[in-house]
Structure 1
Amino acid sequence: MKKFNIALLCTLFLLASCTPSVQDDEDKVVQKEEEPTGQPSIVPTYKLSEDDYRVVLPYRTSKARGATTNQIANRLDIDEVEQGLMRHSKEYFDPNEVYFEEGQYLDLDTVYSWINELNPKVEEGSEKEVYEDNPRYLSHILEQNFIKRNEDSVELVGLSIGLALKSQYRFQTEIGGTYYYKNIPKADMLEKGREVAQTVLERVRQMEGLQNIPIMIAIYREEERGSAVPGNFVAKTFIEQGEMSIDDWEGIEEDYILFPSNEAEEKYFDDAQIVNTFGVEVAEFFPNYVGFIGEGFYVNEQLQKLTIEVPIEFNGKAEIVGFAQYTYGLVKDKFPNNYDIEIQITSSEKLEAYIYREAGKENPVVHLFD
């Protein structure tokens, strides 16, 4: 399923319905004493909503920029590991008190070398069984920083680290040879993830400026390479400043479900029936309709957000307007309002219309694209 930039969609929603939150503090140029580069930063006044982090300007990209796309095979996993880590960080680093910055401590060479060192070693040319018994569990190490502004400076006050591990290991026994696949049980992945987390913590604590910084570490389980939905975070832990060991882990019950699918029918039958009814109603209205793709995000088995993409070929603007109006009515009449719902109406060329309703609201917001 196509993944549209969530920041863009949130912006459209805000333009259609409200203005951004305004902070009382004016923008201020400050010296970042804890920054590796020591460059001045401007802390912005505005953010899109109370739930979002403000970012430090001028924006600095991660010191390990490019590693995520190189290390994680599924595009949906790439998006979710970054956005999900930020989402879980909010439990420990309040968006109303701190600012977000991409990782500035683990550079590209460090990330790649740690991944290689923390994965099992297999001699090139080994038998297939050797690869199967020693899968490369760890795909990526993602760092995010959280900054607090003081009276005349800013400082690092928190660090989040996401560890992306595989659910399926793909390997070759020789260069250019056949690809083999080995599924990795969740329990095995979690065991390895906890081991990796302890080692990463010890190494991070040895880095200058990070000895006494609170750290959140979360374990992400990737989906298979061709999956139509992303994987999810499965465990997290918080390490207080100065601590060198991980005492316990908190399980995370999150799930991304594809609609329509057998898994949706088996796990969330009622939701699957509502979504299927939506498809039937659309098919009755529009002769060019060929199907939809839906994605549900669940936390503790409760639907939090439903996203549906409806690809249709239109013959004019009037058709788009009419279909958007009809879909607006379906959202109001067919779907409960206890979760966010997002409908993306697309053609082969672009996103034609976007309908969004926030949980608890009665009326959706509609945006038509020129």
Structure 2
Amino acid sequence: MRYIKWIGAVVGVVLLGGALIFFGNFYSKNSSKVESQKSKTTVNNKITTKKGIKLTGSNSDDQYKSVIKDGNYLVGKARGVTANQNGNQYNTVNFENGLLDVARKHFSPKSYIFQEGQYLDTKTAQSWLKRKSHDNPSGLNPEDNGKTDDGRNPYYLQSIEEQDFMTQEDSTLKLKGIVLGLAMNTEDIYQKEEYGVNFTQKIEDSTRIAKGKEIAAEVVARYRKMEGISNNTPIVVAMFSQSSDDSLAGGSFYSYVESKSGTKLGDFKSINEKNVVLPMQENTKNYQDMASGLNTQFVNFQNNIQGFFPNVSYVTGTAKYNDKDVKSLKVDITTQFYSQTEMDSFSNYVAQTAPSFLPTNLSVQIRIKTVEGVQTVLVQKSNSKTYDITRLESD
């Protein structure tokens, strides 16, 4: 018996070694990479990494490959600034995702590689977002004029985001374009005294748009002076309108402009983009003609779901429109279930029911949440009538 066990152990080790070699060769052959000539392999805790630059893959033609440096994802130098500047997570999500939509129109994922912004660092970004003052001459927001009523100078610029687009040339990546997002406030919340009550100053659309153009021109001029950015590097600036902090829809992009060379800007072009919360409330009457049909579908879906399972608290959705055409729909379902079998049954029911109520000609994402967070994500691709279900494992 000892002899048999010994043989079995040897066979197991051989098989394990063969499997590791197979998967190692498979990974090596299928990983897109741009290696530096002096690449070096190091082993740490049984994880093999390589010095230099590699690229991630992409799942579809509209997804970018991105950059991995020395075994880690290359994060932006101003990472976290956008999220920290926003009091509304929906603004943050719409700002970052929408900026990629703008980028795809100028830098095709088939030809360009996405890289997190590497030119604007955190310290500089924070300085730009502050008021201009004697101590902070680089501030892009106006000086404090000392007023505490509607005559005060508000903060116009709320956030800034940089995305870089590269091409692969031999063993290096070359910068071929930059897309910048400028998030402009529609209102500014301030205090008349430290730790006092909050006041809200509304910013007129015409003022926001005019100030945004001024800031865009200044930002492009500053980028042209940064090391590594040539005079002919295309720079696209996309203008984003922030929604109020309590909005469930989040803001949207309203225009963009391109600087092909130097500091000269072309004409600003409009982006007719809107985010509509479902079911629509009385304060969204402006969208009734555009979204009434989808709203009816959503309410029927909501009633069906809430009627079938008594533990559903509420169902909400956000539809993204572009030129009055709905492009995507995101749905959140909040539940209170006490077992995994209940959650699994409910997820399967939603997947089977949704195509009968919600549009099938566009991308739909449904998140099922509890007090512990998102439990299941259901995704329907455009022009499909089936949902892929991903169940998230809890710790």
TM bin, normalised by shorter chain, reads 0.7 to 0.9
Asked if residue 245 in structure 1 is aligned to residue 251 in structure 2, the reply is no
Q: CA deviation at 1:271?
A: 0.7
- Does residue 67 in structure 1 map to residue 89 in structure 2? no
What does 1:83-98 align with in structure 2 at a 5 Å threshold? 83-98=97-112
- Secondary structure in 1 matching 2:346: helix
Q: Residue deviations 1:118-163, cap 9 Å, x none?
A: 2121145x342432xx211111221111111102322111111111
Distance 2:309 2:227 in 1: 61
- Letter paired with 2:381: E
Which of these residues, 145, 149, 153, is aligned with residue 128 of structure 1? 149
Report the Cα offset of residue 25 of structure 1.
7.8
Q: Contact 1:24–1:45 (CA<8 Å) still a contact in 2? A: no
RMSD: 2.2
More displaced stretch, 228-237 vs 281-290 = 281-290
> Which secondary structure state, in structure 2, belongs to the residue aligned with residue 290 of structure 1?
strand
TM-aligned CA deviation for residue 41 of structure 1: 3.7
TM-score when normalising by structure 1: 0.85
Per-residue Cα deviation, 1:172-229 (whole angstroms, up to 9, x for no partner): 2222222210222222211111111111111211222222211110001111112112
2:382 to 355, 359, 362: 359
Q: Which residue of 2 aligns with 1:293?
A: 316
1:156 and 2:175 are equivalent in the alignment: yes
The C-alpha deviation readout for 1:293-332, integer Å capped at 9, x for no partner, is: 1111111111111111111112333322332232122212
TM superposition score normalised by structure 2: 0.80
- 2:124 paired residue among 110, 118, 131: 110
Establish whether residue 53 from structure 1 lines up as the match of residue 61 from structure 2.
no
Deviations 1:19-51 (A, max 9, x none): xxxx988423138xxxxxxxx742325223221
Q: Is the 8 A contact 2:166 2:175 kept in 1?
A: yes
Stretch of structure 1 that moved more, 162-171 or 342-351: 342-351
Partner secondary structure for residue 140 of structure 1: strand
- In the alignment, what sits opposite 2:234? 214
SS in 2 for 1:139: strand
Which structure exhibits the higher relative contact order, with contacts defined as CA atoms closer than 8 Å and separated by 6 or more residues? 1
With over 3 angstroms needed to count, the CA separation of the structure-2 counterparts of 1:71 and 1:291, relative to structure 1, is closer
Tell me, yes or no, if the aligned pair for 1:216 and 1:239 is still in contact at 8 Å. yes
Q: Do the aligned partners of residues 246 and 179 (structure 1) sit closer, same or farther apart at CA in structure 2, a change above 3 Å counting?
A: same
Q: Distance in 1 between matches of 2:340 and 2:88?
A: 35
Return the alpha-carbon distance in structure 1 between the equivalents of residues 348 and 199 of structure 2.
Answer: 48
Tell me what 1:81 maps to. Answer: 95
User: Could you tell me which residue of structure 2 aligns to residue 174 of structure 1?
Assistant: 193
Aligned length in residues:
337
Counterpart of 2:275 in structure 1 is 256
Return closer, same or farther for 1:187/1:24 CA change in 2, 3 Å cut-off: farther
- Tell me whether 1:138 sits opposite 2:161 in the alignment: no
**Distance between the aligned counterparts of 2:333 and 2:325, measured in 1?**
24
Q: Is the 8 A contact 2:366 2:379 kept in 1?
A: yes
Partner of 2:370 in structure 1?
347
| Structure 2 contact 380–386 (Cα < 8 Å) conserved | yes
* Number of the residue aligned with 1:10: none
Q: Which of 184, 188, 210 matches 2:203?
A: 184
Q: 1:352 to 1:29 in 2, by over 3 A?
A: same
| Cα distance in structure 1, aligned partners of 2:342 and 2:31 | 47
Q: Does structure 1 residue 42 correspond to structure 2 residue 61?
A: no
What residue identity is the alignment partner of 2:80?
G
Per the alignment, do residues 350 and 170 of structure 1 end up closer, same or farther by CA in structure 2, a change over 3 Å counting? closer
Distance in 2 between residues matched to 1:367 and 1:260, nearest whole Å: 25
**Matched position secondary structure for 1:70:** helix
CA distance in 1, matches of 2:148, 2:312: 50
Moved over 6 A (4+): none
Q: Aligned pair in 2 of structure 1 residues 315, 67: CA closer, same or farther (>3 Å)? A: closer
CA distance, structure 2, for counterparts of residue 75 and residue 322 of structure 1: 30
Given the alignment of the two structures, is residue 368 of structure 1 paired with residue 391 of structure 2, yes or no?
Answer: yes
Q: Identity across aligned pairs (percent)?
A: 26
- Gap change, CA 1:112 and 1:269, over 3 Å in 2: same
Indicate the structure (1 or 2) with the bigger Cα radius of gyration. Answer: 2
1:308 paired with 2:319, answer no
Return the alpha-carbon distance in structure 2 between the equivalents of residues 148 and 41 of structure 1.
Answer: 16
Q: 1:271 maps to what in 2? A: 294
How far apart are 1:105 and its partner, in Å? 1.2
Query: Which structure 2 residue ranges, 5 or more long, are not aligned?
Result: 1-28, 38-50, 132-138
Matches of 1:275 and 1:64, distance apart in 2: 39
Greater mean alpha carbon deviation, residues 80-89 or residues 42-51: 42-51
Closer, same or farther: CA 25–148 of 1 in aligned 2, 3 Å: farther
Residue in 2 aligned with 1:223? 243
